[in-house]
Structure 1
Amino acid sequence: MKDQLPEPLATERRDARRRRNRLLAAFALFVAAWPLLTDVSPLQDQMDWVLQAKIIAAPAQAGWTGNYEVIWRPVPNILGTVLIAGLAKILPVFTAAAVVYAAYLLLWIAALVYFLRSGERDYPAAELLAPLYAANHFFLMGFFNFILGLALVFLAFGWLRRHGEKPLRHWPPFLLLATAVYLSHFLAFAILGLGCLIYAVLTYRRAGRRYGSLVVSFAPSLLGLAWYAQSRAGQFWFHYAFHNPLYYTWYQVGPWAIASSYYPLTPNWAVWINVAINAATILTVGGLVCYAAWKRRIDWRSPWAWTAAALLAIGLAAPTRIYELLRPGQRLIFAALLILPATILPARPFDPRRFRRLAAALGALLLWNAAWWFQAAAVDRQDLNVLERLIGRDSRMLVLADSHFHFRENRSYRAKLADPYAYPNSVNPHRYLPYCIVIRHGGYLRALFGTGIVRVRREAELLPEVTRLWHLDDPQAAGRYSHLVATGQRENLAAIADRAAPLFEQQYLGDRLLVMKRRPAPEPAPPAN
Structure 2
Amino acid sequence: MNDSAPSPLDSPKALVWVLVAALLPFAFMAYPPLQDLPDWSYQARIVNEMLSGNPAFTADYALVPAPVPNSAIILTLALLTRVLGPIVAAKLLAVGSAIFFAFAYVLFVRRRTGTVAPRAELIGAYFAVGHFFWMGYLNFQIGVAAALLVLALLPEDDKELGAANAALLAVGLVVVYLCHFLAYSALAICLLGREAHRSRFDWRGYVPLALASVPSVALGLWYAAVGAGRFGIWYEYQHILNWIWYKAGPFTPVGGFYPVSPHAAQWTVAAMNAVAVAGLGVLFVSLIINAAKNRRSPWTLGVAVLLLVGFIGPTRFFEVIRPSERWLYFGVLVLLGTSASPWLRRPISGWLSAAAVVAAMVTSLLAFHASGEIDAYVRDVERVAPPGEAIMILTDRHQGFRPTRALDERLRDPYSYPNWVDPLKFAPYWVYEKRGGLSPTIFPTGVVRVQSNGLKVPATYERLADPAIAAPFGAVAISGRDPYLSK
- TM over 0.5: same fold? yes
Report what 1:138 is aligned to. Answer: 132
Q: Which amino acid aligns with 2:43?
A: Q
Partner Cα distance (1:127, 1:88) in 2: 32
Task: Determine which of 300, 318, 323 is the counterpart of 1:323.
Answer: 318
**Distance change >3 Å, CA 298–CA 56, structure 1 → 2:** farther
Asked if 1:474 is matched to 2:466, the reply is yes
CA distance in structure 2 between the partners assigned to 1:274 and 1:392 by the alignment? 38
- Correspondence for 2:421: 427
In the TM superposition, residue 278 of structure 1 has moved relative to its aligned partner by 1.3
What is the alpha-carbon distance in structure 1 between the residues aligned to residue 204 and residue 290 of structure 2?
38
Between the aligned partners of 1:479 and 1:329, the Cα distance in structure 2 is: 40
On the 8 A contact 2:432/2:438 being kept in 1, the answer is yes
Partners of 2:132 and 2:355 in 1: how far apart?
A: 22
TM-score (norm 1): 0.82
Paired position in structure 1 for 2:279: 284
Higher RCO, Cα 8 Å, sep 6+: 2
| Residue 332 of structure 1: aligned partner | 327
The RMSD of aligned alpha carbons is: 3.1
1:487 Cα deviation from its structure 2 partner: 0.3
Q: Is the 8 A contact 1:260 1:369 kept in 2?
A: yes
**More helix per residue: 1 or 2?**
2
CA shift at 1:120, angstroms? 3.9
Give the secondary structure class of the aligned counterpart of 1:455.
Answer: strand
- Secondary structure in structure 1 of the residue aligned to 2:443: coil
> Does the residue aligned with 2:153 lie in a helix, a strand or coil?
helix
What residue number does 2:105 align with?
A: 112
The aligned amino acid for 1:466 is: A
Q: Is the aligned partner of 1:264 residue 2:270? A: no
Runs of 4+ in 1 over 6 A off after TM superposition: 16-19, 353-356, 404-408
Name the structure 2 match of 1:101. 94
Counterpart secondary structure, 2:465 = coil
List per-residue Cα deviations over 1:166-186 (Å, max 9, x = no partner).
531244443322111000111
Aligned-residue offset at 1:375: 0.7
User: In the alignment, is residue 390 of structure 1 matched against residue 381 of structure 2?
Assistant: no
Aligned amino acid, residue 22 of structure 1: K
* Contact 1:109/1:131 (8 A) holds in 2: yes
Q: CA 1:336–1:328 in structure 2 vs 1: closer, same or farther (change >3 Å)?
A: same
SS of aligned partner of 1:236 = coil
The 2-side partners of 1:137 and 1:349 are apart by: 22
Shift of 1:297: 6.3
Superposed, 1:217-296 pairs within 5 Å as: 217-232=212-227, 235-294=230-289
2:144 counterpart residue number? 150
Q: 1:435 to 1:354 in 2, by over 3 A?
A: closer
- Code of the aligned partner of 1:145: N
CA deviation string 1:275-302 (max 9, x = no partner): 1111222223223333444567652211
Q: Which residue matches 1:55?
A: 46
Contact persistence 1:262–1:376 (CA under 8 A): yes
Deviations 1:46-105 (A, max 9, x none): 122111101212324475352223345311121111110111221102211222222211
Contact 2:71 2:179 in 1 (8 A): yes
- Matched residues in 2 for 1:18 and 1:245: separation? 36
Give 2:284's aligned amino acid.
V
Q: Does structure 2 conserve the Cα–Cα contact (< 8 Å) formed by 1:63 and 1:441?
A: no
Match of 1:380 among 363, 367, 374: 374
Q: Describe the shift of the 1:407–1:215 C-alpha distance in structure 2 as closer, same or farther (beyond 3 A).
A: closer
1:11-160 matched pairs, under 5 angstroms: 20-59=11-50, 60-61=53-54, 64-122=57-115, 123-160=117-154
Q: Secondary structure at the match of 1:397?
A: strand
CA 1:57–1:22 in structure 2 vs 1: closer, same or farther (change >3 Å)? same
Tell whether 2:485 aligns with 1:484. no
**What's 1:174 paired with?**
169
Cα gap change, 1:346/1:233 in structure 2, threshold over 3 Å: closer, same or farther?
closer
> Comparing 240-249 with 66-75, which one deviates more in the overlay?
66-75
Q: Do residues 442 (structure 1) and 436 (structure 2) align?
A: yes
Q: 1:97 to 1:199 in 2, by over 3 A?
A: same
- Equivalent residues of 2:287, 2:335 under 8 A apart: no
Deviation at 1:415, TM superposition (A): 2.1
- After superposition, residues 344-359 of structure 1 pair within 5 angstroms as 344-347=339-342, 350=345, 359=353
Q: Is the 8 A contact 1:297 1:344 kept in 2?
A: no
- The one-letter code matched in structure 2 to 1:403 is R
Return the TM-score normalized by structure 2: 0.89
Whether the 8 Å CA contact 1:39–1:95 is kept in 2: the answer is: no
- Show the 5 A alignment for 1:514-529: none
Please state how far the C-alpha of 1:265 moved relative to its aligned partner.
0.8
The aligned residue for residue 3 of structure 2 is none
DSSP-derived class of the 2:477 partner = strand
